[in-house]
Copies of this chain bind each other. A is one copy, B any other.
Amino acid sequence: MPKSLDIPQISDAEWTVMRVFWERGEATVNDVVAALEGFTDWKPRTIQTLIRRLHQKGALAHEKNGREFLYRPAVDERDCEHAASRSFLTRVFDGRLTPFLATFAERESLSDEEIAELRKILERNTRDS
């Protein structure tokens, strides 16, 4: 997967589909239908549409596999997560991380484990920089 620099816009429903591909590495439409069975109520046609759109956007690559296509991610998961995070922070918090965490922690109590994990992430980053 080329470290893609231009991350396509991935919609809500599309994120659900992409996560399947990032978990499996590759899959056919039917694989995804099976994977989402019981998790969403989407008809197979709907899932096929989402996959096709993701392919058009360049988020999925596909190769012919007999009569059907085998799809695989064409964009990096972390890259997409980061792009979505940036976009969200820009939209809602003027691009800043601390106000986000402040509001979030004010509204939802963080568990002790969560806090410990978050601290660890910060420490890791302190050392590295």
Contact = CB atoms under 8 A, between A and B. Distances in A.
Interface of A: 12, 15, 19, 78, 80-82, 84-85, 88, 91-94, 97-110, 112, 114-115, 117-119, 121-122, 124-126, 128-129
B122 A115 contact: yes
Closest 5 CB pairs of A and B: A82-B107, A88-B88, A105-B125, A98-B117, A84-B92
A91 B18 CA distance: 11
B129 A109 contact: yes
Contacts of A88: 84-85, 88, 92
A78 B97 contact: no
A13 to B, nearest CB: 10
Contact of A122 (B81, B91, B110, B128): B110
A11 to B, nearest CB: 9
26 contacts: A15-B91, A19-B94, A78-B106, A80-B92, A81-B93, A81-B103, A82-B104, A82-B107, A84-B88, A84-B91, A85-B88, A97-B104, A97-B118, A98-B114, A98-B121, A101-B101, A101-B118, A101-B121, A105-B122, A109-B129, A110-B122, A110-B125, A112-B126, A118-B118, A118-B122, A119-B119
